[in-house]
Amino acid sequence: MIKDIVAEIYPLDRTLVSEGLDRSLEVLGRRMPPGSSYRIEEFPAGKDYWTWTAPKRYSVREAYLEVVGGGRVVDFKDDPLHLVSYSVPVDAVLSWEELAGHLHYSAKRPAAVPWVFKYYDAAWGFCLSKDAYDRLPRDKKYRAVIRSEFADGPGLKVGVGLVHPEGGPNPEAGEILVSAHICHPRQANDNASAVGVGAAVAAGLAARPLPRGSASVRFLFQPETVGSVCYLASHEELIGRTRAAVILESIGNRNTLAVQRSWQGATHIDRVSAAVLDRKAPDHRSLPAWAMFSADEKVINGPGVGVPSVMFTRYPYEEYHTTDDDMDVIHEDMLQEAADVVEETVRIAASDYVPARLFKGPVHLSKHGLWADYRQDREASLAVQKAMLYFEGRHTVFDIAEALGMDYWAMRGIVESYRAKGLVEALPVPARPQDPAHFL
């Protein structure tokens, strides 16, 4: 069950660079298929990656807020969400007026504790339910204690897997990237759910490899934004090689599946994902880039990278960024449907190619063993004959299937039969068919 992976990762205190994040990458290592050569890469704190600097490692020895002469209000050891992530150390006695600006609650969800992070602000704070906040005495003194540490190492960590097609990698076909951020303390749907779906897709592609000659599929599990910046800045050679990316985000809650399209808008991965969703999740939503928000596609589909990226998500959901984002939000059927859609999208995107004709005139089908008897199957017979009109080196197999209203794999079988007879050669799908003209 995909839910088992989510359940194992979700309780960990997964701030950007932390013990909890390391542990979740290790848990994931046991879930990624052996054929994915999963490994963990490290990026030293303080080092610059493009315009970013890798953050320091964060740990908390203890953190609590108490009423002077009274009881504890909140304690980090009860729930990591009580502390604003990356709070700087403090030990101070404060009046209500001095304290109030450091307290966070959710007006929309008064019984839940919100998750608040100040990764780059050198600030501190505590989070509590609105109900608890309202009950706090205004005329008392408070003691705030945060014993946190910022260390230079170990550095920021990213988990990477790579699944090759049957027969090994085909450098000409490049790579497809699947990415899910693995940070966010004690949040199940955001984004342990997507990490679980990513691992399930990797397992599917390892169990039933992509056809020979397909693109390889790279899996990236990283602290959101800064993690993909560190990784891509250190592997710029991957940018040209990566044909498309699929970003997975908050995907286990009960809601329709949504696809947020690439910044370019109508690229190969946009069209493939739309076709797969039409067939497998007809009630899905389709939105332009940044319509909801932008996760790691802001990096992967961003300035100087520009890899067409679609994001799959079931956002929005009411429990978002609160203590209510727990296993009750997660449904196995939602995870399975998402994994199925993502795997099929990746399978088509990775295995597609541009067939180019090596013949003139209509192929003498029966002489080459390609004839399909129209008396037995008129559709199949016509498809074999019409397909050859599209072998001009401009249309992918997916394009031809769409044009003829056929299933991709059925059309791929037909094109492969021409190819096996040496009548067609396979050209790679252009890496950026719409770049840069459509990049605004």
Based on CB atoms, which residue is closest to Zn ion, 114 or 302?
Answer: 114
Based on CB atoms, which residue is closest to Zn ion, 13 or 190?
Answer: 190
Q: Indicate left, alpha or beta for 290 from its phi (over 0: left) and psi (-120 to 50: alpha).
A: left
Query: How many CB atoms are closer than 10 A to CB 290?
Result: 14
Based on CB atoms, which residue is closest to Zn ion, 295 or 372?
Answer: 295
Shortest distance, position 190 Cβ to Zn ion, whole Å = 4
Q: Phi, psi (5° rounding) for residue 139?
A: -100, 10
Based on CB atoms, which residue is closest to Zn ion, 109 or 164?
Answer: 109
Q: How far apart are CA 291 and CA 269, in angstroms?
A: 18
Shortest distance, position 189 Cβ to Zn ion, whole Å = 9
Shortest distance, position 313 Cβ to Zn ion, whole Å = 11
> Tokens at residue 335, please?
């995870």
Q: How far apart are CA 439 and CA 283, in angstroms?
A: 29
Based on CB atoms, which residue is closest to Zn ion, 190 or 399?
Answer: 190
Point out which residues bind Zn ion (CB under 5 A): 190
Shortest distance, position 184 Cβ to Zn ion, whole Å = 5
Burial of 431 (0-12, 13-18, 19+ CB in 10 A): middle
Based on CB atoms, which residue is closest to Zn ion, 190 or 343?
Answer: 190
Q: Closest Cα to residue 3, out of 339, 246, 342?
A: 339
Shortest distance, position 249 Cβ to Zn ion, whole Å = 8
Residue nearest to Zn ion (CB): 190
In residues, how long is the chain? 440
Shortest distance, position 432 Cβ to Zn ion, whole Å = 29
Shortest distance, position 250 Cβ to Zn ion, whole Å = 7
Q: Closest Cα to residue 103, out of 73, 67, 127, 76?
A: 127
Based on CB atoms, which residue is closest to Zn ion, 55 or 204?
Answer: 55
Based on CB atoms, which residue is closest to Zn ion, 297 or 343?
Answer: 297
Shortest distance, position 321 Cβ to Zn ion, whole Å = 6
